[in-house]
Every structure is written in C-alpha cells, then in structure tokens.
A and B are shown apart, each in its own frame.
Chain A
C-alpha cells in the first residue's frame, strides 16, 4: 500500500526539514506543495527528499491540499495524509491515524484535539473560538464531529476520489467533513496532540471561514 503525505507549506524554512524527517519513517512519499513561498522552503524540502510542487502564487492551504491530492491520485497513492508544515502535529501519531483505513473500517479519519489526548490550547481558543466553531458546524452544517477545524486527517484512495476541495482557504477543513458525510463515507475520529507554537486561527479567521463556505456555495 502506497502511503503519501501532502504537506502544504508557506514560508516554512524553519520547520520544513524537521517535519519531513519526522514523517519519513511512516510514509512512502512526501509531497510538499509550496504555496508561493518567498523563502527557501522549496529548496530545503527538495534537499530532504520530498517531491516539490510549486504554486507560482499563494492560493491558500485548501488549494495547496487539493493540488497535492491531485498529484497523489495520479501517482497511485492508496492512502493520503494531510499534515501541517509548521510542526504542530506529531508524526508518531500517524500509525494510529491510518489504522482504521488499513483495517478497512473507515474511508476517512479525522484527528481531533478534543478527544482524550492533552492539547495545550490557548485560553481564548479553548473557551471562545472552538465552542463557537462547534456550535456553527453542529447547528448550521449538521456536523457532529468533535473538531471542526482539525488539519490532520487521512483519506483512502476512494475518499480522495470522492472529495474535491473547493475552498482555497481554511474553510477546507469543514468542507472535507461536510463532503465526507454527504458522500456517506465511513468516518472515524481519533484523538491527536497539537503543539501550539502561536495562537493559530483567530476569531476573525472563524468568521472568514463561515464567509468562505457561504460564498463557495453561491458560486457553484
């Protein structure tokens, strides 16, 4: 089984080498989608042995993931992992993440920061932003997953063929979850650990996600 990891990256020269090294034992290929970086992210990733796809201009994380997915599908990936290039996820949790797909118990596995493992959330994120995000996704989108914005996920080839990411920005996380349920894919959530290096998504980012989801719905 060919396991590919898609790593969207924007100006991540400080972290990219470490992240690629940490992923190496768990996947067959690492696809770095350099989303218009102005630093040496692409060169460092290439030196680390990753496959580099370069967006000439910045198009957003969702767009970079879709580009990586397209490449992985064309090149025969059986399972694709979406991972962040900033080093906030732990590669050591990949075996747990992909296990439900390998055992044919799931088509798509979402990592969740809200299940049993301990993620040290910034205060505002834990008590304001995430409850609001959960409320929105549960009542307006009908999603009953514990983490609407998790960036760590694994998709089987079948799931990858079914889901096309249209949201270019951060709304892709909710979009993937919506499409997983719409297409009746077998969904599993597993606990993951996230190491926050900065605050990450702010409240304004949450409103941006809602705005993007609505606009994307209207232009289709």
Chain B
C-alpha cells in the first residue's frame, strides 16, 4: 500500500510538471496528450494492480502483474528507441542534403 502511494505521488509530480510545460508552451497539444495518457495509464496500473494480477493469471502468464507491466515497458522502450533511430537516420540524411547544397553552391 505504501509503495502504491509513493508511486502515485511520483506520477502526480510528473503530471504537474507536464501541465507546467504545457502552460509555458514548451510542448504542443499532441505531446501533452501522449504523455498525459502515459502517466494516467501508469496511475491506473498502480491502482488496479490486483486486477492486473488476476488478468495476467487468467492469460496464463507466470509471475505477477508488476512483472507483466515491466515486460510491456521494455517492449515500449525498444519501440521508442527504434523510432528514435529512424528519426536520427532521417536527420542524418537531411544533413547530407544540406552539406551537398553548400558544397555545390560554393562551387558555382
């Protein structure tokens, strides 16, 4: 119970930071919505941890609900790293295009 309260307090802190960033226009509506959903899902998972335990059991996984959430988090992280890698590759490609323009313009 204490662990759940601490986890929820941490989430409340991050949501308050998120609202502050939104008010300061440091993030756009889409980013705000994505992160808000992320933190609210985390809060829901903490509050409903017993139900998740039962769901995981019903699905036939060994281990507790919290383990299941960690597996999901790892999958999400892999996906985010992959997306980030693609974004970097695109930026790298754009940088090459710019370098080429500069090089050819200097040659004129």
Contact = CB atoms under 8 A, between A and B. Distances in A.
B85 interface: yes
Contact of A219 (B86, B100, B106, B107): B86
Contact of B93 (A33, A70, A71, A168): A168
Given A215-B85, A215-B86, A70 B104 contact: yes
B81 interface: no
B100 A66 contact: yes
Interface residues of A, number: 21
B92 A168 contact: yes
B93 A55 contact: no
A67 B100 contact: yes
A56 B86 contact: no
Interface string A172-208: 0000000000000000000000000000000000000
Contacts of A28: none
A67 B93 contact: no
A59 interface: yes
B96 interface: yes
B100 A54 contact: no
Contact of B104 (A71, A166, A168, A219): A71
B99 A56 contact: yes
Interface string A55-84: 111011001001100110010000000000
Interface string B8-41: 0000000000000000000000000000000000
Nearest to A167: B93
B107 A71 contact: yes
Given A216-B89, A218-B86, A53 B104 contact: yes
A33 B100 CA distance: 10
Contacts of B104: 53, 67, 70-71, 74
Contacts of A51: 107
B89 A219 contact: yes
Given A59-B96, A168-B96, A54 B89 contact: no
Interface in B56-107: 85-86, 89-90, 92-93, 95-96, 99-100, 102-104, 106-107
Interface of B: 85-86, 89-90, 92-93, 95-96, 99-100, 102-104, 106-107
29 contacts: A33-B103, A51-B107, A53-B106, A53-B107, A54-B106, A55-B99, A55-B100, A55-B103, A56-B103, A59-B96, A59-B99, A59-B100, A63-B96, A63-B99, A63-B100, A66-B100, A67-B104, A70-B100, A70-B104, A71-B107, A74-B104, A166-B93, A168-B92, A168-B93, A215-B86, A216-B93, A218-B89, A219-B89, A219-B93
